[in-house]
A and B are shown apart, each in its own frame.
Chain A
Amino acid sequence: MKTKLNGFLTLLLALFVQVTFAQEKTVTGKVSDASGPLPGVTVLIKGTKTGSQTDFDGNYSIRANTGAVLQFSFVGMKTIDMTVGTANTINVTMQEDALALQEVVVTANLGYFTRDTKKLTSSISTITSDDLVKQSPSLTINNALQGQAAGVQVTAANGKPGANAFVSVRGAVSITGGSSSATYVVDGAFVSSTDISSLSSSDIESVSILKDGAAAALYGVRGANGVIVITTKKGKGAKTKFEFNSTVGFTQKLKDPFRMMNAEEKIRYEGLIGGGSSLTKTPAEIELMKSYNHDWQDTLLRDGLIQNHNFSYSGSDGKFSNYFSMGVDENTGIIKNLDGYNRINGRYNSEYQANDFVKFGFNVGGSYQKLNEPRDRNNTQNPFRGIYDYNAYEPVFSRDANGVILLDATGKPVYNPTLAGFPIAEAILNNTEQQRYFRLFGRPYLEITPIKNLVFNSKINTNYERYQRESFVKPFSFLDNIVGDPNARGSKTDNGHDALEYQWTNSIQYVFDLGSKHNLDVILMHEYFKSNFRSYSLARKGFVSGDLPTGGSASTTVPFTSHTENATISYFGNINYDFSDKYLLSVYGRYDGASVLGANEKWEFAKGASLGWALSEEEFMKDVKWVNSLKLRGSYGELNTTGGIGNYSAQSVYSTTSYGGLTGTIITGALIGNPNLKFEKAIKTEIGLESSLFDNRLRFTTSYFNDKREDFVYSDNSTNGALWSSLINAGDWTAKGVELELKGFAIKNENTNLSFYVNASRINREVNKLNRPDDPENQLLRGLTVTKVGFQPDEFFLTRYVGVNATNGLAEYLTKDGVVTTTFSDNDRVLSGKTPYAKHEGGFGMNFSHKGFDISTDFVFKEGNYTYNYMWLNMNADGSSVNRNQAVDAFDFWTIDNPNASLPSPRTKSNVNSNVVSDRFLQDASYIRLRSLNIGYTLDKKNFSSMPFNHVRIYTQMQNLLTWTNFIGDPEVGIGSGESQTTLLVPGQFALYSYPNVKSMSIGVSINF
């Protein structure tokens, strides 16, 4: 390694030698607007990174060559270019950019660096804070990205308060299992996809999504699935600005497109099929059962309350800038008696320009989250299974033969365990689980400009997370009575972890002075990332009372502690060149090492290049007035990635277990090591076109991309008897597609604005190679889906269902060879061509404003994705689960008198089980959803001069109001079942009673002063 470093240093020294200094002088001046001096204006020598800012009095000073162009920019003002002539003073008066048709973001944030969008040769989608505020503040930031950028797939994990979303870029699929989540970079620091939920969307200035390989290359081992760069707000502008924002609203479970049977219907159904608990009941008992009729959804669920209050301050005196914010968030969720989610967060960002050479800053953010968790499992310990499984004739409390509620020894009503065997209404009260997260992000940074055009940047990012979980089965609760110790009642588990990640990044950037037409800069970077994780778990029993959760007299499991760590080292070099903003070239190379890889394969090189051609800058385009800008770009980028590899998964390790009072060793995690486990490589190629037409009234960006994964990492469980699994580099796959972002301004004048947007992408995936010498089928099975060469990743592999035989009422299937049969067999499974991944995905919407009034809508859509609907299978069980409630649709089963029924003859009649996993319940989960609807009215000083505030906006915000789909249930499925789907997670593979998505309506006010 040392040799390589020395190489870098030699290169660096060579750069110094070649530097030639041109004639330059100090230019000073004052920048003002209509109301007076304007502090915080950026003054940049065009085509360089050299710049300055105006101070509190609007004064600036900068050293520049004669002939150089000074660019003055300020948010909300028109950018002004001034050429440096003979005069040493240049005063500028800036004008408000009322139409703001220019790109709001003139620089694209690459996380570590920013770059003038004109010089970009990469595919980057940017979402501003204006787009984000339209989404409900109760959503985590990743949920709020849905439909906002082309080629970015966002699926809510589930509807649980505070739950994250699966975000993937350009069809990234993790065949390893687990989500192929994009990486988050907040102010230059890596943040995990779970930690990101601690960030308040009101602190966010902008979100840039880096989609191609060349752009994501900076983030190396984490960038392969795309990078989401989040920039938090900084103090800017001289005037101190306070903002207060507050919303309150409610949430509701999305309505099912079907109805469950009521008491009378279920009893009738049981009679018709000849199965169920009502069959042995007397008429009097039946009448009593009917009288208990209630809807378990109403019994167990409620409307949730959401509220969000946020306060922020920002300000700058030109040298010292500050941003401060505090917020609270609450989302009770829709389960009765369970206060789902609370968050408090705060942030302080500051930056100080000490002198001409040194600038430093410190960003610190923290949050405290509290979640009261329901269980997310595939039985009635989960309320969302309970609402469908419990029969309407089963009362909440147990009744005696006369229908009188039974009381326990203390006089409290006894909860009815029901036919499902578990009273979830009781468990929500008496089996509590609370999770608490304390997170602290700190980022000190230092920027030194020792000589002109050379910037050295050093920053340390630390992410600290403290997690605590308490899961308490209260003494004498139903569950305790079943599993507990009669002599030591109750049980409780306390577990948690401390996780500390730090990342030290050092970079040098040198900008060459080659005359005004040629721009060349070089970046060298080194980064070390280390993660430390320590956890504990304690469990005990013997509690006196449910009100004493810290007691306990004996251990129930062996207490354990754990410590793991991982690290990566990266070296990165990048050269950017352009000729007069017209021809753009960027090349990079990087060398990465990661601790999680096999001992023989820890290091890997990766390279890439991108090219751009700004056609609109060409002479022959100057006369084409309707084209404001047109750029053609292309890129090739390789990235090394370690996605999904556990800290020691490449090693064969043994851990301890106890048995019979002795110590034993067992294979850790049932995982066998692989010393040859190497980086998975993402190879991303794209061609894109960006344009702005008709006075900037129409803007579009389109790209064709080809993302190839080589040697993707897969947890291979094909060992003999599925004994163990092992991580291997299993093969190659490709995602190809096109994406389009389009924005049009139909009306644009002083009073009225009307604009539309569309983001859409189309993606095709294919598996190119699988390397599994021990598997004669050469395929990867993941539950319902299979991955095979020449097919799409994760194609559903199911026996085909034909329908109901009109003569005998039996379910009919197709054999592998296409022959109709009434005998179901797994040997007849075939690849269906259907996957859980959408082919087309995107969003569209509009914004309209007239004077103070504004309205905007966002729609999202997905097309071509399939989800296995296990819930619907259970609600139409064809007589296989007589004790479970059924959907009303279950009545339409075959009988001699109903030969054209939609459902087969129930098993209780036919003795044939048709409650099997065939493609009958594989459903098209395409949908269009009205994601958000916002209506607001803004009062500002112009119209209401007596108002003590600068501006006040009152608004209402609605989320998930309408959905169009053929899926029987909510089509937006991420996690199928939280506790049953712990490994090999394929988002959207099946729906199995996870926390449902909600619609929300809230009202809010935002005040600026």
Chain B
Amino acid sequence: MKKLIYILLIAVAFNSCSEDDITFTPYNAVNETIVLVTPTDFNNMLTGAYSYMIKNGGAGGYGEEFLIDSEVLTDNLILKEQGRQSNKTGFEFRYVPSSTHFDYYASAYRPAHISTKILENINNIPASVDRDNIEGQARFIRALVHFDMVRIYSKIPSQSADANASFGMPYLDNSDANWRPVRGTVQETYKKIIDDLLLAEQKIGTTNLLSQGRASKAAVQGLLSRVYLYMGGAENNAKVIEWGTKAVAGINVCPRASFVSLWDDGNSNGILFKLRVDATDVSIPGVPYSQTLAGGIRSEYVAPKSVFDLYQTTDIRKAAYFSTSAFSGKIYNHIIKYNGRLTGNANIVDIKVIRVEEVYLNMAEAQYRINGGGLSHLDAVRSQRYSPFVSGNETGVALLNAILLERRLELAFEMDRFFTLKRLNLTMTRNATEGDFSDGTGTPAIPTALTLPAGDIKWQLPIPQSQIDLNKALQQNPGYN
């Protein structure tokens, strides 16, 4: 009897498991099959796409590095010798496929992939205003990151006659993760960007809040004005005006009185689209520029004296953008555009992606190309920057130079200077004797970092070797090996 009990025990022990014992679903996540079902699911996914632009891979993009990656390639910045020497590969134009400066891939492709996934499945939910709004935003995000990709790695249509037929960048309108796209031409890429933006402009809703870092109709229109400006030519310049006019309707240029606090996120006057960054997001956008220690601001790059001097003393931007102060016994022109809000952790601010001021300047430039005009658009910006302000009433080349100068001053350190030089096919020149201290002394840029001639291959950043290793169909830009 006793033995029988033992045997029964054994049998019970052997029978104690089943298939259910090795089937688990996660507690911290949801399965793909239920993630794109309801409109809320789509909205959440869309929020995820926005978030990818600043984190979870977005630190190479708007989250941190993009803010300085293009600027160090220009005369706006000089390497501060006593800094950490970060981004020096870019500053000295030493980038090659294996040591890339400006690797924007992950930051662009993750939001693009998610946006495409939303668009591919959008018919899972019934047609509605909300659905259109989701679709519009997804197309906006996809267009924005591809526009960035193509302006970084490819020629800009207005840059040279051969640009449109040269290598563009693949457009991620297919969410198959194992897709091996080819580059196509610049013209093809811009067409897809415009197609997305035009649809986005129609579909995007009216309830999206700037404060939540979501795109509005004006943001789409503003981006359209920028893209058409890059495309150049009479027809496209007219589009710059067309979309620019729509974008600025009802949105004022940030007034002079509010301008300093704009960069502390004290207000958001004139901003068409910004990416929200909170302390909990882990991204610290200002760090590539500087960190603030007890002993002052420790910059990696500073504005050389010649740039600082471009800002007149009557220009409010001088106070908004710079802190001329000592660090370790030397005085520098530190850039303080990203050094944080008035409260909260240092170096955390929202990333202003499109501002109405830029749209005015886009229109001014386009208008100048069309008929030599553009002064009123220029003054719309200038009048809110100088006090006292008297319009220069420039005409002809003087007007163009004034527009370009104002563009440089207004959008300094905002991911514009490099692309403006590039799209206008200009030469970037640094002062050979000017050093990093605020009085112009100090360590100048090394000889090879002094100029980037118009038409040089380095205007097109090399495709990272790691990407070519993965996708042999991805041709390298000419001039790199």
Please report the C-alpha to C-alpha distance between residue A401 and residue B329 in the assembled complex, in whole angstroms. Answer: 9
Interface pairs (13), CB distance under 8 Å: A1-B18, A408-B294, A448-B6, A483-B291, A486-B346, A594-B22, A602-B22, A655-B29, A659-B54, A660-B47, A660-B278, A823-B481, A827-B481
Please report the C-alpha to C-alpha distance between residue A908 and residue B449 in the assembled complex, in whole angstroms. Answer: 12
Residue A288, interface by CB 8 Å:
no
- Do the beta carbons of A456 and B280 come within 8 Å of each other? no
- Do the beta carbons of A720 and B181 come within 8 Å of each other? yes
- Do the beta carbons of B22 and A719 come within 8 Å of each other? no
Would A722 and B105 be within 8 Å (CB), given that A556-B345, A664-B46 are in contact?
Answer: yes
- Do the beta carbons of B28 and A482 come within 8 Å of each other? no
Please report the C-alpha to C-alpha distance between residue A277 and residue B328 in the assembled complex, in whole angstroms. Answer: 13
With a cutoff of 8 Å between Cβ atoms, the chain A residues found around residue B48 in the complex are 654, 657, 659, 664-666
Residue B235, interface by CB 8 Å:
no
Residue B151, interface by CB 8 Å:
no
Residue A805, interface by CB 8 Å:
no
Residue B343, interface by CB 8 Å:
yes
Shortest CB-to-CB span from A198 to chain B, Å, is 27
Residue in B26, B46, B54 whose beta carbon sits within 8 Å of that of A648 in the complex: B26
Residues of chain B at interface, number, CB under 8 A: 102
- Do the beta carbons of A484 and B345 come within 8 Å of each other? yes
With a cutoff of 8 Å between Cβ atoms, the chain A residues found around residue B191 in the complex are none
Would A483 and B345 be within 8 Å (CB), given that A647-B24, A664-B44 are in contact?
Answer: yes
- Do the beta carbons of B14 and A5 come within 8 Å of each other? yes
Shortest CB-to-CB span from A396 to chain B, Å, is 16
- Do the beta carbons of A776 and B15 come within 8 Å of each other? no
Of the listed stretches B64-72, B211-219, B306-314, name the one at the interface; the rest are far from the partner chain: B211-219
- Do the beta carbons of A482 and B30 come within 8 Å of each other? no
- Do the beta carbons of A721 and B106 come within 8 Å of each other? yes
- Looking at B110, B176, B177, which has the most chain A CB atoms within 10 Å of its CB? B177
Please report the C-alpha to C-alpha distance between residue A720 and residue B293 in the assembled complex, in whole angstroms. Answer: 41
* Chain A, range 982-999, C-beta contacts under 8 Å to B: none
Q: Which residue of B lies closest to A781 (CB)?
A: B469
- Do the beta carbons of B344 and A720 come within 8 Å of each other? no
Q: Which residue of A lies closest to B42 (CB)?
A: A665
Residue B466, interface by CB 8 Å:
yes
- Do the beta carbons of B51 and A659 come within 8 Å of each other? yes
Please report the C-alpha to C-alpha distance between residue A244 and residue B3 in the assembled complex, in whole angstroms. Answer: 45
* Chain A, range 661-680, C-beta contacts under 8 Å to B: 661-668, 670, 672-673
Residue A8, interface by CB 8 Å:
yes
* Chain B, range 43-70, C-beta contacts under 8 Å to A: 44-52, 54-57
Please report the C-alpha to C-alpha distance between residue A824 and residue B94 in the assembled complex, in whole angstroms. Answer: 12
- Do the beta carbons of A666 and B56 come within 8 Å of each other? yes
* Chain B, range 440-456, C-beta contacts under 8 Å to A: 442-443, 446-448
Please report the C-alpha to C-alpha distance between residue A69 and residue B471 in the assembled complex, in whole angstroms. Answer: 71
- Do the beta carbons of A720 and B471 come within 8 Å of each other? yes
Please report the C-alpha to C-alpha distance between residue A506 and residue B105 in the assembled complex, in whole angstroms. Answer: 53
Q: What 0/1 readout, one digit per residue, does chain A (715-756) give for beta carbons within 8 Å of chain B?
A: 001111111101000000000000000000000000000000
Residue A808, interface by CB 8 Å:
no
Please report the C-alpha to C-alpha distance between residue A450 and residue B4 in the assembled complex, in whole angstroms. Answer: 9
Residue B242, interface by CB 8 Å:
no
Please report the C-alpha to C-alpha distance between residue A661 and residue B281 in the assembled complex, in whole angstroms. Answer: 11
With a cutoff of 8 Å between Cβ atoms, the chain B residues found around residue A670 in the complex are 56-57, 110
- Do the beta carbons of B98 and A826 come within 8 Å of each other? yes
Please report the C-alpha to C-alpha distance between residue A508 and residue B9 in the assembled complex, in whole angstroms. Answer: 12
Please report the C-alpha to C-alpha distance between residue A581 and residue B98 in the assembled complex, in whole angstroms. Answer: 63
Of the listed stretches A119-127, A260-268, A560-568, A837-845, name the one at the interface; the rest are far from the partner chain: A560-568
Q: Which residue of B lies closest to A725 (CB)?
A: B177
* Chain A, range 595-637, C-beta contacts under 8 Å to B: 595, 599, 602
Please report the C-alpha to C-alpha distance between residue A665 and residue B118 in the assembled complex, in whole angstroms. Answer: 12
Would A526 and B31 be within 8 Å (CB), given that A555-B280, A660-B50 are in contact?
Answer: no
Residue in A528, A555, A565 whose beta carbon sits within 8 Å of that of B24 in the complex: A565
Residue in A401, A458, A487, A666 whose beta carbon sits within 8 Å of that of B344 in the complex: A487
* Chain B, range 278-320, C-beta contacts under 8 Å to A: 278-282, 284, 291-295, 298
Residue A830, interface by CB 8 Å:
no
Please report the C-alpha to C-alpha distance between residue A968 and residue B451 in the assembled complex, in whole angstroms. Answer: 39
- Do the beta carbons of A721 and B98 come within 8 Å of each other? no
Would A660 and B212 be within 8 Å (CB), given that A506-B13, A665-B30 are in contact?
Answer: yes
Q: What 0/1 readout, one digit per residue, does chain B (62-104) give for beta carbons within 8 Å of chain A?
A: 0000000000000000000111110000000010111100000
Residue in A401, A456, A563 whose beta carbon sits within 8 Å of that of B10 in the complex: A456
Would A881 and B280 be within 8 Å (CB), given that A483-B291, A720-B179 are in contact?
Answer: no
Residue A485, interface by CB 8 Å:
yes
- Do the beta carbons of B109 and A566 come within 8 Å of each other? no
- Do the beta carbons of A913 and B94 come within 8 Å of each other? yes
Shortest CB-to-CB span from B335 to chain A, Å, is 16
Q: Which residue of B lies closest to A1 (CB)?
A: B18
- Do the beta carbons of A661 and B282 come within 8 Å of each other? no
Of the listed stretches A52-60, A172-180, A291-299, A412-420, name the one at the interface; the rest are far from the partner chain: A412-420
Residue B161, interface by CB 8 Å:
no
- Do the beta carbons of A558 and B30 come within 8 Å of each other? no
Residue A547, interface by CB 8 Å:
no
Residue in A478, A558, A566, A721 whose beta carbon sits within 8 Å of that of B105 in the complex: A721
13 other A-B residue contacts (CB within 8 Å) besides A456-B9, A673-B32: A2-B15, A401-B329, A421-B83, A450-B2, A451-B3, A567-B24, A569-B21, A648-B25, A653-B29, A654-B48, A668-B29, A720-B179, A774-B178
Residue A210, interface by CB 8 Å:
no
Residue B23, interface by CB 8 Å:
yes
- Do the beta carbons of A658 and B293 come within 8 Å of each other? no
* Chain A, range 435-487, C-beta contacts under 8 Å to B: 448, 450-451, 456, 458, 476, 478, 481-487
Please report the C-alpha to C-alpha distance between residue A659 and residue B351 in the assembled complex, in whole angstroms. Answer: 13
With a cutoff of 8 Å between Cβ atoms, the chain A residues found around residue B14 in the complex are 5, 8-9, 506, 526
Residue A888, interface by CB 8 Å:
no
Please report the C-alpha to C-alpha distance between residue A563 and residue B24 in the assembled complex, in whole angstroms. Answer: 12
Would A556 and B279 be within 8 Å (CB), given that A484-B346, A666-B51 are in contact?
Answer: yes
With a cutoff of 8 Å between Cβ atoms, the chain B residues found around residue A563 in the complex are 27-28
Please report the C-alpha to C-alpha distance between residue A672 and residue B113 in the assembled complex, in whole angstroms. Answer: 13
Residue A304, interface by CB 8 Å:
no
- Do the beta carbons of B293 and A668 come within 8 Å of each other? no
Would A883 and B85 be within 8 Å (CB), given that A481-B292, A672-B177, A721-B105 are in contact?
Answer: yes
- Do the beta carbons of A5 and B15 come within 8 Å of each other? yes
* Chain A, range 524-575, C-beta contacts under 8 Å to B: 526, 528, 530, 541, 555-558, 562-569
Please report the C-alpha to C-alpha distance between residue A386 and residue B62 in the assembled complex, in whole angstroms. Answer: 31
With a cutoff of 8 Å between Cβ atoms, the chain B residues found around residue A595 in the complex are 22-24
Q: Which residue of B lies closest to A449 (CB)?
A: B6
With a cutoff of 8 Å between Cβ atoms, the chain A residues found around residue B401 in the complex are none
Residue A651, interface by CB 8 Å:
yes
- Do the beta carbons of B282 and A825 come within 8 Å of each other? no
Would A719 and B276 be within 8 Å (CB), given that A456-B6, A482-B293, A664-B48 are in contact?
Answer: no
Residue B391, interface by CB 8 Å:
no
Please report the C-alpha to C-alpha distance between residue A760 and residue B329 in the assembled complex, in whole angstroms. Answer: 62
Please report the C-alpha to C-alpha distance between residue A801 and residue B172 in the assembled complex, in whole angstroms. Answer: 38
Please report the C-alpha to C-alpha distance between residue A825 and residue B481 in the assembled complex, in whole angstroms. Answer: 6
Shortest CB-to-CB span from B133 to chain A, Å, is 14
- Do the beta carbons of B6 and A450 come within 8 Å of each other? yes
Q: Which residue of A lies closest to B30 (CB)?
A: A654
- Do the beta carbons of B443 and A665 come within 8 Å of each other? no
With a cutoff of 8 Å between Cβ atoms, the chain A residues found around residue B176 in the complex are 720
Residue B325, interface by CB 8 Å:
no
With a cutoff of 8 Å between Cβ atoms, the chain B residues found around residue A913 in the complex are 94
Please report the C-alpha to C-alpha distance between residue A762 and residue B21 in the assembled complex, in whole angstroms. Answer: 42
Residue B371, interface by CB 8 Å:
no
- Do the beta carbons of A557 and B27 come within 8 Å of each other? no
Shortest CB-to-CB span from A263 to chain B, Å, is 18
Please report the C-alpha to C-alpha distance between residue A114 and residue B472 in the assembled complex, in whole angstroms. Answer: 56
Shortest CB-to-CB span from B97 to chain A, Å, is 6
Residue A218, interface by CB 8 Å:
no
Would A664 and B293 be within 8 Å (CB), given that A565-B24, A722-B106 are in contact?
Answer: no
- Do the beta carbons of B16 and A528 come within 8 Å of each other? yes
Q: What 0/1 readout, one digit per residue, does chain B (467-480) give for beta carbons within 8 Å of chain A?
A: 10111100000000
